[in-house]
Structure 1
Amino acid sequence: MTTERTEVQVRPGSEGDLDALTAIYNHYVRETPITFDTAVFTAEERRPWLLSHPEDGPHRLMVATDVDSQATLGYATSSPHRPKPAYATSVEVTIYLAPEAAGRGIGTRLYEALFEALEGEDLHRAYAGIALPNEASTRLHERFGFRHIGTYREVGRKFGRYWDVAWYEKEL
């Protein structure tokens, strides 16, 4: 288990990260409404997702690791907002942390690295959807200059109930 004083490295993701990133994501699939996926993935099923985030361009994957143990602590992505061409200058961003990494500033480090990597890209806006309630994610996004632009009420059903999703926007 990692400690509060862990030295963290943030770097672009690679194929070698696939198993660890899949395990982190599957935690949220199984245990939380943070993602609306309802069935866990194999690493092979997640490979196309990973490969859709190269080291350059507007769609990035940044990974945080413990410098000493090399344990994966979390990741941040910028992905296409929607598939139609007119949306090309908009991205949807997200962060997933290993459960033991929450509350330690790793999300902040990931977003700092992601937004720095996106500087100079032909991007106009970033969007983030937050399944509610999620105060930690709301605070993180607001700290990075995102503003609330609306809430989809009871838009997703998981664990036998409906969940709201608040949408946030940031100028890039």
Structure 2
Amino acid sequence: MPSERTEVQVRPGVEGDLEALTDLYNHYVRETPITFDTAMFTPEERRPWLLSHPEDGPHRLMVAVDADSQEILGYATSSPYRPKPAYGTSVETTVYVAPQAGRRGIGTLLYKALFAALAGEDLHRAYAAITQPNTASARLHERFGFRHIGTHHQVGRKFGRYWDVSWYEKEL
């Protein structure tokens, strides 16, 4: 487990990260309602997702790694908000932090890097969907200027119960 003093580097995600990123995401699929995916992924199944986030453009993947071990501590993405062309200047953002790396500011580092990378892009709004309850995620998004714009009540069913999803919006 990394120590609290470990230096963290944030960089664009690359093909070599695929297995570790898949493992991290699968933790959230298996253990939490944070994602509404219910079946685990193989790295090959996640490859199209990784390839849809190049090192430039509006759809990015930023990865936080331990500077010494290169262990992946988390990632943040900006992805298409919806597929229709008029939505092209909007993105949906998300952050996933490795369970052993929580409460170390990894999400903040990732969002700082992501929004810095997006600063030169032709983007107008960012949206984030947060399964409730998730106070830590709501606080992170609010620190970055997101504001709550509404909640879909009982919109997803996972682990035998229904979950609300709150939507947040940020001007870019």
TM-score range, shorter chain: over 0.9
Q: Which amino acid aligns with 1:130?
A: I
SS in structure 1 of the partner of residue 6 of structure 2: coil
Scaled by the length of structure 2, what TM-score is found? 0.99
Distance 1:153 1:49 in 2: 27
SS in structure 1 of the partner of residue 130 of structure 2: strand
Segments of 5+ residues of structure 2 without an aligned counterpart are none
Deviations 1:37-83 (A, max 9, x none): 00000000000000000000000000000001110000000000000
Deviations 1:24-44 (A, max 9, x none): 000000000000000000000
Q: Which residue of 1 aligns with 2:101?
A: 101
Q: Which residue of 2 aligns with 1:169?
A: 169
SS in structure 2 of the partner of residue 82 of structure 1: coil
Q: Which residue of 1 aligns with 2:144?
A: 144
SS in structure 2 of the partner of residue 152 of structure 1: strand
Q: Does 1:128 align with 2:132?
A: no
Scaled by the length of structure 1, what TM-score is found? 0.99
Q: Which amino acid aligns with 1:88?
A: G
Shift of 1:4: 1.0
List structure 1 segments (4+ residues) > 3 angstroms apart after TM superposition.
none
Q: Does 1:115 align with 2:115?
A: yes
Distance 2:40 2:104 in 1: 26
Q: What is the CA RMSD across the aligned residues, in angstroms?
A: 0.4
Q: Which amino acid aligns with 2:161?
A: R
Distance 1:46 1:97 in 2: 17
Q: Which residue of 1 aligns with 2:51?
A: 51
Distance 2:15 2:116 in 1: 22
SS in structure 1 of the partner of residue 148 of structure 2: strand
Shift of 1:121: 0.3
Distance 1:127 1:133 in 2: 18
Q: List aligned pairs for 1:20-59, cutoff 5 A.
A: 20-59=20-59
Q: Which residue of 2 aligns with 1:74?
A: 74
Deviations 1:70-99 (A, max 9, x none): 100000000000000000000000001110
Q: How many residues align?
A: 172
Distance 2:150 2:11 in 1: 32
Q: Which amino acid aligns with 2:101?
A: A
Distance 1:97 1:41 in 2: 18
